[in-house]
Structure 1
Amino acid sequence: MHQKAVELRRAVKVARRDRIRLHGSWIGIVVLALLVAVPTAVTWKRYDMAPYNVPLLIAMAVLAVVFFATGTTMDVKSVDQLRMELELAEEARVLHAVENARPAQVRQFAYKEVLPQEIARLGAESRRYRRWHNWLQMALILCSAGITAASAVYDPPQPGKGIIIALGASVTIITAVSGFFKFRERGFNLQQTADEIEQHLTALNLSIAPYNQANEADNLRQFTSAVEALRTEQRKREQQLDQPHQPQNNAV
């Protein structure tokens, strides 16, 4: 039951991603076609638009390949159908779990056994966010250096004005993306939670404080409560990062 639900959840994610890629590619083709057709028609026989149209046509060809490749590999079932199957599978899984309910201590022990996978998942997400942060910072450094170099090379600014404008816009976009998604903060919070859970798990396995009581069931109960508190705190921090920044107004 659980495996079927996992497979359907993955299928929903893949179908949603394919649908976004399919719609995004044909929208991109239409936009690029307009960017080629409209300026060419306006400047017909007055200005050679070939240097600008060639890259746009290449991008259109790439998007067309993505469109047809995605259309031929997409699942026949729609996202709504897969979601319906997922809901039915989740209901069946819950009913199966109710019919095969286990004692609390057994569930707590099973919870402890799956924690290494949770720690690995948190660490992987933390590394992914850190990579995003590092790549964006590297792009920001390169764009900033490119603006300085282009300003020095093209003096007066023409014909490098377009390059300087593009690099300046890239700096603005990268800064906005970094500030909006907060990759560094998310990676730090995830890694901190993973380290704290691993610390509790090690203390429980080695029977050291605070899990050095004689009754193993009490240790397991206390461990489960502590780890769930850490995961709840992690979710709260994620929600705080998702909230827009609201500057405080200082009274004069």
Structure 2
Amino acid sequence: MSLIDSVRNTMVPVHRDGWKFVAIFFVVSLILGLLWKPLMWIGFILTAWCAYFFRDPERVTPQDDDLVISPADGRVSAIAMVTPPFELELGSEPMLRISVFMNVFNCHVNRAPMRGRIARVVYRAGKFLNAELDKASHENERNGLVIETAHGPIGVVQIAGLVARRILCWSQPNTGLEVGERFGLIRFGSRLDVFLPAGAAPRVSVGQTAIAGETVLAEFGSTKGPTISRRG
């Protein structure tokens, strides 16, 4: 393998939405360097971190309509039966909610958890509480998608956090999504909630690390019941 191929395989692509932030960090670093050279090197380190934050790696996604794949990189922070946000129009009955919390070091590109058609995209302004709090699901700024799947409608909600101030969603209603397909991004720390109808059994545990587009969060039609885990 040539040196160029080695570099290409090592470098992770940066999402197009991140390049302007990388450029801003770089220019500010040069300006700070005019004031005091050590500040420039600190700025370059922050610039490298910014590029790392907006990384957009390729993922290998399971192609099975019975599986629910994680829409985000991060830590599974909650698994519970709760009423979905009213704006999703998914009814008042509790649904299985699996939450994935993203810190500032996680990849923040969001991917579709299942294959289907987008029935609804709803943005709602709100607070910027710690995204790990349970009430953040209903009180924080958020953007929700309802996806019609082979197992009925599911909800996917992008939730802003303490640091996040911009939710991006480039998918539109009445368009199709493939499982693992990129549909949005949240800048600088946040959370993704997935609301699933009856028949879905969790395949992860609270505290487990999830990888967007790869980790199986839940499964439909299985008779195995919820996954049992232990710390070792």
Which structure has the highest helix share of the two? 1
- TM beyond 0.5: no
- Tell me which structure has the larger Cα radius of gyration: 1
Which structure has the highest strand share of the two? 2
TM-score (norm. length: structure 1):
0.23
Q: Which has the higher contact order (CA 8 A, sep 6+)?
A: 2
